């Protein structure tokens, strides 16, 4: 009886240790996926901006971090490495195609009032001159925090497509009532040059996503 009890306790301890290791593995996989997706988007974005795309991508990453981007829970044990890579490749292809479609729809007229009206229409927000109010931050993180294997719909790509098309400073803040009251996207009210992103901005953003 004592031997059976000891064996049961040892088995419970082994199971607890296994569960702890599995949880740690899931966290690493989730964090790695966010970084990998951001790096892929940075490469895709370079094809849709004349000149340097770093500023637009830096704005995208900053907004995602401000919105509290994190990967949703997933059944990671169902994915092997090759299967996950294939799913992410298909996801990247879908995003690239959607970015191209949005660029065509936005056109060449980048006057601020029209630009923010387009953004509001694409994201389902409310335009007010040179600003847009969103009911939630979902549009700001949709390309990063979707579950593995989930191909984003075209409208999920609109925010990144618009940033690449607009390619000018924009402020992203929680509304005055707080995060629960939505988010505000607006052109800066003060004139002045926006500092260029540091040369290692992507590395820093990936680290911050991992910490989140």
Rounded average pLDDT over 25-43: 78
pLDDT of 202 > 80? The answer is: yes
pLDDT of residue 123: 95
* Predicted model pTM: 0.84
pLDDT of 78 > 90? The answer is: no
Which of the two residues, 28 and 51, has the higher pLDDT score? 51
Which of the two residues, 121 and 154, has the higher pLDDT score? 121
* 3 state DSSP class of 102: helix
> Distance between CA atoms of 132 and 175, rounded to whole angstroms?
11
> Distance between CA atoms of 211 and 6, rounded to whole angstroms?
39
pLDDT of 154 > 50? The answer is: yes
How distant, in Å, are the alpha carbons of 7, 30, 73, 104, 133 from that of 151?
47, 17, 16, 21, 26
Q: State the pLDDT confidence band at 136, using cuts at 50, 70 and 90.
A: very high
Q: State the pLDDT confidence band at 192, using cuts at 50, 70 and 90.
A: low
> Distance between CA atoms of 151 and 193, rounded to whole angstroms?
37
Residue range(s) defining the domain that contains residue 95 = 2-211
pLDDT of residue 212: 67
Q: How many domains does the chain have?
A: 1
Rounded average pLDDT over 80-90: 88
Q: State the pLDDT confidence band at 76, using cuts at 50, 70 and 90.
A: low
pLDDT of residue 172: 94
């Amino acid at each position: 009886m004592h031997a059976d009890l000891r064996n049961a306790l040892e088995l419970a301890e082994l199971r607890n240790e296994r569960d702890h290791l599995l949880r740690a593995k899931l966290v690493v996989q989730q964090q790695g996926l966010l970084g990998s997706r951001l790096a892929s988007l940075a490469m895709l974005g370079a094809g849709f901006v004349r000149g340097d795309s770093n500023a637009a991508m830096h704005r995208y990453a900053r907004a995602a971090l401000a919105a509290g981007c994190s990967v949703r829970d997933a059944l990671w044990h169902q994915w092997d490495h090759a299967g996950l890579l294939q799913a992410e490749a298909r996801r990247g292809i879908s995003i690239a195609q959607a970015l191209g479609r949005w660029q065509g729809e936005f056109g060449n007229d980048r006057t601020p009032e029209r630009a923010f009206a387009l953004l509001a229409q694409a994201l389902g927000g409310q335009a007010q001159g040179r600003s847009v109010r969103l009911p939630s931050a979902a549009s700001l993180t949709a390309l990063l925090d979707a579950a593995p294997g989930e191909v984003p719909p075209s409208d999920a790509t609109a925010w990144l497509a618009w940033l690449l098309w607009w390619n000018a400073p924009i402020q992203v803040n929680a509304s005055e009532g707080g995060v629960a009251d939505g988010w505000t996207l607006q052109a800066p009210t003060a004139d002045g040059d926006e500092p260029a992103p540091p040369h290692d901005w992507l590395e820093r953003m990936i680290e911050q996503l991992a910490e989140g």
